[in-house]
Structure 1
């Protein structure tokens, strides 16, 4: 009998997972408590920008021409319980207000609503990023609340989605990790992921704590790599070195690798910052806080980069006040190919300069609406050209392809001063200098 799958939560992770499961051939029923989200997805629209996701939805949501009709949406927990053999929990785990710890209330609420409707054998699969030790507690909670008792099992299957590549990462993951407690749970998940495993994706079977630790460990390692190269950028600034050449040279060592070695204004978004902070908080609860004290410095280096960018801009403008100076900011999202402005270093820098009296105008290919909601007092322009018009300095803060392909000569015609500060070290200095611009990258005083 073909497995039927449900997805609880239709945010960024849930919407992508539901559409991908339908693409893999499963009948999928997705639930969300927010009616507006359901209505939007039923129209084949997404609440966030993610390349390829709307096309995938329309291929499977009922009502579209040529659609498989394998993906439906509901707000009825009883319908979900009766429909599904495997239930994926994809709800958010934000940082608690005023604390480093993770807020588990959405996960707990979802399981408390689902479990009473599990009257037959079922597998509940957690995909949310949670503190280690959560799965053990949640498994007991499900067994107590479900009419099926211990036949309602839990497994943990962390997600490794990169914003901008989420569809690719779900359909063709670089690894699948499953924390299970029975052969049945493992067999069901092997059935779910039969296609990617058949294509060669490694399938790692482990216990609950290890599965929970994989995501936070991976994110901590990536954050460490980013902050390491940013620390090297600080040294390069002091020593007149070039951090981009330094990164290139060490990147040829295959033990180190080239990825995540681009110095700049640091990481942001809804995952890396909150995940490393929650990891530190949980290690403290477990009595292993000394093992992760280095993450505090990683976080500190990262946050320091934003202030360093503001100071670099101040120095480039003569070292005085930002009052009356016009600053163009290219980029609002925390990374390209996304409309996500959560904890965005680009907006943070723009906001700091604005608070210090600068007239800041922002342009971003996809994040304008979200940025405007978060920072309504900043100026916004409909294009890069309009943002740069009349600017005393241009700050490149999100490495969108559109910005790498800009014509420096055309921008030079409208700028008051041809001064560009590259907060992502992603532009070609030679190209900009040939067009008469003063180019300055972070950690590259001589580049």
Structure 2
């Protein structure tokens, strides 16, 4: 009985053990199968989410890209339109509407605001730059009196050192209303587009709020007027060779303006004070604030207000306001007489009959003996009498009362070139010695 009981218990205990093990295994298998069934669904959902997000971001990027591109296109069109308008305006020399700057003109959106400025006229010229008032204040040491070069009717001229180490001359213009604004813009526009070794180079400008400044290349030997009429013990007079070179440089400057500019440019205020001298006493013409565009027709007239400097104005312009390139030729003749005689155009301290240089000189220029008496005593006889007679003849033609009798500046240049060539071989060495001995004035 015990054996049977034991056997029965053993037999009856076996199956439950086997069933439990099987059940556990079966449950684990179902769990595994359940897990494998859900894994692909999660992956698909994750992938769809990522793809959707990337697609949305890509669409947003494309929308922003096209919006930005459209804005850029609009700015370019605006810039082109402004350039066209400014170019048309500059061809009319600003007309009657002055430009008003609220801040320093600057490059905004790829467009230069504040003037029609050409920055690529050749490798020699680096282009016009826009300066802030603060930058120029630093360059001139707070516009120190020690850096004042000249105090003229336009304002002050300062010597300044720009941030890149360039020594420059900085003209601080007085606030003169519409006329001053017009003159400022004309000078910026013309010197930005007209480049010649015989015109002073405009390095930059500033139109910061109410401030108006022009930045020019440094001309260490100052103005021709200073050397002819303001000599002191520290300044030696210009010799004959230097004067002839200056006469030719000035003639070439006016020839360029009259003949080689896209439209003829009449300087309107050509005088010895607007002729600047570099370290080698080569001349460059400056100050274009009163310049006017001339007529496309040869000797064509333009009507304008009479502006300029007494003693240099052509008689027909002074009396009628009719301006031509021949008006500049007359002014050039006056400067040539200054080089020849050393006299100022108007001097009431002279004896009666000698107050006005042209009136006194014109009857004498065709008389050889009287021409010799007219020569600047500072030359001390160191000149060619043959060349002197020819220079006097050129001056006499330039200051003719009738504009039609005056030569073109091209003709003046061609008349002067042989004189300079003849002297170059004889006078170059003495000119170099003179340059070394002559101290640079503060002008």
**Same structural fold, with TM-score higher than 0.5 when normalized by the shorter chain:** no
Larger helix fraction of residues: 2
TM-score using structure 1 length: 0.26
Which structure: larger Rg?
2
